[in-house]
Structure 1
Amino acid sequence: MSRTPRRPIAATGPGRVTPPAAHGRTVEVDPSPAER
């Protein structure tokens, strides 16, 4: 059971950094047009 969660965490580690970065860009783009 520990081996399964360990693999997803490792794949999520690097993947998590990318999703947050994309989310931040989308959040900034959303407020920009919304403020317009």
Structure 2
Amino acid sequence: LKFLQPDPFKKRTPFCYLLRFSLANLLKEELEASTKK
């Protein structure tokens, strides 16, 4: 029943979004660095 409650997911989502955002930025920087070469 605890897993069905949305509260822990709500607390976790901002962190997941931040993680995904930082990963996207890293990929973008690597792409830009590879194109500069």
Q: TM-score, normalization: structure 1?
A: 0.72
Are 1:16 and 2:13 matched, yes or no?
yes
Are 1:28 and 2:25 matched, yes or no?
yes
Q: Which runs of 4+ in 1 moved over 2 A?
A: none
Q: How many residues align?
A: 31
Q: TM-score, normalization: structure 2?
A: 0.71
Larger Rg: 2
Instruction: Output the amino acid matched with 2:12.
Output: G
Unaligned runs of 5+ in 1: none
